[in-house]
């Protein structure tokens, strides 16, 4: 395995591990410290309060927990299988954010219910958005980063194609 593949894979796995550890620790803290004692961090803007949901990120789709669990398994498997392909550092970080977040919420589903139907711990309340957790935020930030990277690559590819002389049609 060449150095670029190794570096990209390690960056991805380290990012995923950091997200997973932060997610698990904050959920354990929320579970023990917040159920009867929500905490205002920034009055009217940010509150930590314990809740659970059976849906996806930001409590969406609470009637289909198995759909989200299966999606998380597929996403995690795809990232794991391709984790040591050559990619930029930013791609590796983005995929690590998604992997760590998906794994964090998947762990909740496994340990908090039968099969894959368990409830996910949420605790970050911005008052204008559904309550979420570190895993949800990591998945969204990772996905947005992947979109930005894809748009940049597309723009760079169009610029490169425009700068190349046209191919000779006669052969």
Please identify every residue annotated as catalytic: 122, 136
Query: Token digits for 82?
Result: 């391709």
What is the Cα–Cα distance from 71 to 57, expressed in whole angstroms? 12
DSSP string for residues in 119-163 = PEEEEEE-SSS--B-HHHHHHHHHHHHHHHHHHHHHHHHHHHHHH
H-helix segments, the chain:
3-33, 65-81, 89-111, 134-163
């Amino acid at each position: 395995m060449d150095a670029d593949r190794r570096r990209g894979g390690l960056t991805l796995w380290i990012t995923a591990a950091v997200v997973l550890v932060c997610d698990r620790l904050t959920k354990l803290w929320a579970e023990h410290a917040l159920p009867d004692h929500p905490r205002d961090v920034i009055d009217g803007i940010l509150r930590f309060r314990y809740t659970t949901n059976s849906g996806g990120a930001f409590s969406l789709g609470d009637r289909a927990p198995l759909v989200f669990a299966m999606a998380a398994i597929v996403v995690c498997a795809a990232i794991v299988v391709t984790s040591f392909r050559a990619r930029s550092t930013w791609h590796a970080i983005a995929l690590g954010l998604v992997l760590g977040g998906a794994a964090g919420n998947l762990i909740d589903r496994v340990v908090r219910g039968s099969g894959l139907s368990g409830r996910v711990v949420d605790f970050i309340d911005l008052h204008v958005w559904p309550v979420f957790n570190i895993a949800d935020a990591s998945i969204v930030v990772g996905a947005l980063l992947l979109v930005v990277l894809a748009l940049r690559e597309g723009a760079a590819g169009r610029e490169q194609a425009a700068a190349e002389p046209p191919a000779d049609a006669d052969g």
